[in-house]
Structure 1
Amino acid sequence: MIRFLAALPLCLSLSACMATAPLEQPSRASTEATTILPPMKTFTASRASKPQVSNTDLARDILDLAFQLESGRQLPRFTRFEGPITLRLTGQAPISLSLELDALTDRLRREAGINIRRVQSGQASITIEAVSHAKIRRHLPSAACFVVPNVSSLAEYSKARRAPRTDWTQLQNRERLAIFVPSDAPPQEMRDCLHEELAQALGPLNDLYRLSDSVFNDDNVHTVLTGYDMLVLRAFYAPELQNGMSRSQVAERLPTILARLNPAGANRSPEYLRTTPRSWIEAIQTALGPGASAAGRRSAAQKAVNIARSEGWTDHRRAFSHYALGRLTQSQDPDVALSHFLAAQRYYSQRPGTQLHSAQVAQQLAAYAIHEGRGQAALDIIDPYLDVAKRHENAALLSTLMLLRAEALDLLGRGTEARLVRLDSLGWARYGFGADWAVRAKLQEITALSPLKRGNGRT
């Protein structure tokens, strides 16, 4: 229902853990890259993989997603749209957002079987209003974007935000909703908001940290609807279900629905991952959310690691706990941070379907290798994940990995190749980071990692 502004976005300062030194004059390749930025690159076709999930686990997931809010409040009844669904884009929407909406609408029709189309005027089932970050924060200070029932504009929501009709627990069915996305965000952030909020406007209102292959997870690793997500939405709109059903009624019908939609899942062994305790969720939210001090965030992340350890987890939640603590301790103790990144990668490597998670850790490990002048080691870390980032349409991650790769190539004396990789990365960076100044700042940040470009040979 709400996509939060994370305290730890995908690409923080990779050099935050490194000792700083005066920069030498940038190389000719770096100068050219920062002077003239190439056109923005975009993803052309989604390549969502078929979900590998047991129908037993999937049924449990759907019930927990459909009958609870992110806050933990229970929902008394199943709700969805009935009949054709219309979408309207309003506000200060850039052309890129309109194109993203067309692509997503097409995917929802093809992959989830939802009867949905765009309209240019009049009342719509779902209105997507593009407004400034400042206006969103005025209503929800920690939100990047959000969705609300029974309104069609931010002005209408302002008047009705405390009324029963905007309370999800009071909802009887879905007829009219509004999604508010930032018009002044980088293209990737707008797209991410669009995918997550439209998915929740149509289907599940909850997020579950136990899901590793879904946008219905507050870890924000997946930001584009996955094959798993499309299967969940397809089940949500199965003809056997209808508004007003109780949890037990939906549970009774799910085995038949899933046998039809996911026949391979009937023969897969369920994992039965434990329910995520509220104490761990609250620790992660404190560590990565707004409001806490730096020390408070580190303490909360350590608590999350302790809970994960005491729960006996070896899944992606254990890994994510270590990753969060690594990010939060980089500037204070780089060696401790590295140990947590290595632990995160170890746990991710033991789980199928966590390549995107591993790619995020890989950028951290590659940064350490480059800082130490180990170019080949950095390439060995980076190269397996370039296609992973592209396949999951994460331009911010892809461009960061490519910029790191360029520095590794420079360390190996492969300057011409490094220059081409660096220039190619900047097109993706324009999609992932947006403004030219943000792209140049990312370039400078990663360039500063290399011992070839730090003054006086100091590290």
Structure 2
Amino acid sequence: MRRLIFSLGLLLGACAPMAPENVSRAASAATVAPDVSPPLGSRFGAPQPVAPRAANTAIARDFLDLAFSLESGRALPVLTRFEGPVTLRVAKGAPPSLAPDLARLLRRLREEAGIDITEVDGSAANITLVPVPRRSIRRELPQAACFVVPGVSSWAEFRRAQRAGKTSWTDVRERRTAAVFLPVDAAPQELRDCLHEEIAQALGPLNDLYRLGESVFNDDNIHTVLTGYDMLVLRAFYDPALRSGMDRAEVAAVLPTLLARLNPAGETMPDRHLPATSRPWIEAIQTALGSDGSLDLRRAAAEDALRLARAEGWRDHRLGFAHFALGRLLSGSDPDAAEAEFRAARRVFAALPDARLHEAYAAAQLAALALRMGRPEDALELTLSQEPVARRHENAALLASLMTLRAEALRATNRGAEADAVRLDSLGWARYGFGPDWDGGADLRRIAALDPAQGS
């Protein structure tokens, strides 16, 4: 499932830990006329997935942990997948933005993962996308934005199966049907993100691993569009050398030859030997970025996550993510300390081969703080260098936030015409990233992170 804990908490919120849109809304409200109505979401160009930058030995370990465990940690006895061509249908009620995003995703799955998947009309398909109100999803899974269930094709079937205790992936031996439940009233980007993660899970891995850097199969939700790594995992999942019903040992015996064939470059990559993520660290980071508990409690949890990461000797993105989480929780009360944490996070991310998007998030937070501290030139440098990263990873919400921060920095350096042009260009991305009813707000500048007078 896609966790709201992270997907709503990672965008810019330098004032309040869970307010990603405040920066964008406030900055654009200042100078953009209310009758400006750019089209819903600008379109990204051709996908730009990056080939996996990991050793095949590491990918094999990841594959086994992804394929033979659930997110809860419960083991799965056998590999399961759809055997033969896969059909997908969309139930009634889907918003207009879904169709082009779905077509783009299915094309990538066919071309990059080699999966024979086709959208069909009618009342039957292997995978059914079911739009439902967000409140219905929240009633079932309070911290999920969307989820996938085996053996059903509708909300009514899901409710009946749930009451009968027949919704467990541990009982599946071969995938035949599954339903992906999507929030019909979500912002277009959130809906697209759900398509990527939940269709990928309907097809392949059911687990998430924090140790994965450049992957949607990671509960930090930094990546929300399937990456080159993810497509390799899915291609391996549907390789003829594997089949439903194989146990972990059988799959492990096949993977070295399979991955050498699919990913020759991975044969010469060094294995970083990233250790498993401890349960105490997971619980600490979930508390830190959650919406429950006081700010003091969440700040203490972030400090625990950082302490645990250091104690484990981690030098990967998990250490940077702990710094990032603590920085977010310090932004409202102690900007100097927050800046130190974001800088530490960025140093960690910059040293890694697969953390460019992580680095962009840290840079965005640093840019927001630079504006608060009266350093617009620093904000300009930080935002301009990261906008191509947001584009490449198709993150409209992050891109709109970066552009809005850049517009504020331009205005602060007396470049008003440039600021207005950048702000106007950001609106289409913002409406895709934050929702079509996004209008910039009227007086949100007073509560935005860009206002240095605001506390947490």
RMSD between superposed Cα atoms in Å: 2.2
Residue 20 (structure 2) aligns with: none
Residue 38 (structure 1) aligns with: 38
- How far the C-alpha of 1:442 sits from its partner, in A, is 10
For 1:3, give the aligned amino acid.
R
- What SS is found at the alignment partner of 1:178? strand
Change (3 A) 1:309 1:298: same
Residue 425 (structure 2) aligns with: 424
- How far the C-alpha of 1:426 sits from its partner, in A, is 1.0
CA distance in 1, matches of 2:159, 2:355: 40
Residue 167 (structure 1) aligns with: 168
Per-residue CA shift, 1:58-106, capped at 9, x if unaligned? 1111001001111111111110000010001013201211221111111
Matched ranges for 1:224-235 at <5 A: 224-235=225-236
Whether the aligned pair in 1 keeps the contact of 2:302 and 2:325 (CA below 8 Å) is yes
Residue 274 (structure 1) aligns with: 275
Residue 13 (structure 2) aligns with: 13
Identity level (%): 57
- How far the C-alpha of 1:290 sits from its partner, in A, is 4.3
Matched ranges for 1:52-451 at <5 A: 52-437=53-438, 439-440=440-441, 444=445, 449=450
Change (3 A) 1:124 1:370: same
CA distance in 2, matches of 1:28, 1:148: 40
- How far the C-alpha of 1:13 sits from its partner, in A, is 3.3
Residue 23 (structure 1) aligns with: none
CA distance in 2, matches of 1:257, 1:126: 27
CA distance in 2, matches of 1:284, 1:433: 24
- How far the C-alpha of 1:438 sits from its partner, in A, is 6.0
For 1:410, give the aligned amino acid.
R
- How far the C-alpha of 1:450 sits from its partner, in A, is 6.4
Whether the aligned pair in 2 keeps the contact of 1:165 and 1:171 (CA below 8 Å) is no
Mark the runs of 5 or more structure 2 residues left unpaired by the alignment: 18-25
Deviates more, 1:155-164 or 1:396-405: 155-164
Change (3 A) 1:244 1:164: farther
Change (3 A) 1:443 1:202: farther
CA distance in 2, matches of 1:442, 1:243: 56
CA distance in 1, matches of 2:87, 2:34: 43
- How far the C-alpha of 1:296 sits from its partner, in A, is 2.4
Change (3 A) 1:391 1:3: same
- How far the C-alpha of 1:268 sits from its partner, in A, is 1.2
- What SS is found at the alignment partner of 1:49? coil
Whether the aligned pair in 1 keeps the contact of 2:29 and 2:441 (CA below 8 Å) is no
Deviates more, 1:274-283 or 1:144-153: 274-283
Per-residue CA shift, 1:271-311, capped at 9, x if unaligned? 11111111111111222234333332222211111100100
Change (3 A) 1:438 1:199: farther
CA distance in 2, matches of 1:392, 1:106: 17
Per-residue CA shift, 1:215-245, capped at 9, x if unaligned? 0000000000001000000000010111111
- How far the C-alpha of 1:33 sits from its partner, in A, is 4.2
Deviates more, 1:334-343 or 1:182-191: 334-343
Deviates more, 1:91-100 or 1:206-215: 91-100
Whether the aligned pair in 1 keeps the contact of 2:150 and 2:179 (CA below 8 Å) is yes
- What SS is found at the alignment partner of 1:180? strand
CA distance in 2, matches of 1:3, 1:325: 22
CA distance in 2, matches of 1:424, 1:284: 35
CA distance in 2, matches of 1:374, 1:34: 29
How many residues are aligned here?
Answer: 444
Residue 23 (structure 2) aligns with: none
Change (3 A) 1:184 1:303: same
Whether the aligned pair in 1 keeps the contact of 2:15 and 2:448 (CA below 8 Å) is no
- What SS is found at the alignment partner of 1:6? helix
CA distance in 1, matches of 2:192, 2:66: 22
* TM-score normalised by the chain length of structure 1: 0.92
Per-residue CA shift, 1:104-126, capped at 9, x if unaligned? 11110000000100111121100
For 1:293, give the aligned amino acid.
S
CA distance in 1, matches of 2:371, 2:292: 33
- How far the C-alpha of 1:435 sits from its partner, in A, is 3.7
- How far the C-alpha of 1:355 sits from its partner, in A, is 1.1
CA distance in 1, matches of 2:33, 2:355: 33
For 1:9, give the aligned amino acid.
G
For 1:228, give the aligned amino acid.
Y
CA distance in 1, matches of 2:175, 2:443: 42
Deviates more, 1:42-51 or 1:391-400: 42-51
CA distance in 1, matches of 2:38, 2:225: 25
- How far the C-alpha of 1:332 sits from its partner, in A, is 3.0
Residue 3 (structure 2) aligns with: 4
Change (3 A) 1:248 1:33: farther
CA distance in 1, matches of 2:144, 2:217: 16
For 2:391, give the aligned amino acid.
K
CA distance in 2, matches of 1:373, 1:326: 19
CA distance in 2, matches of 1:164, 1:42: 42
Whether the aligned pair in 2 keeps the contact of 1:78 and 1:246 (CA below 8 Å) is yes
Per-residue CA shift, 1:364-407, capped at 9, x if unaligned? 11111112222211111111111000000000000100000011
- What SS is found at the alignment partner of 1:161? helix
- How far the C-alpha of 1:35 sits from its partner, in A, is 4.2
CA distance in 1, matches of 2:408, 2:295: 30
For 2:14, give the aligned amino acid.
L
Mark the runs of 5 or more structure 1 residues left unpaired by the alignment: 18-25
CA distance in 2, matches of 1:405, 1:43: 20
Residue 22 (structure 1) aligns with: none
CA distance in 2, matches of 1:240, 1:220: 31
Change (3 A) 1:433 1:324: same
Whether the aligned pair in 2 keeps the contact of 1:373 and 1:450 (CA below 8 Å) is no
For 1:388, give the aligned amino acid.
V
* TM-score normalised by the chain length of structure 2: 0.92
Q: Which has the higher contact order (CA 8 A, sep 6+)?
A: 2
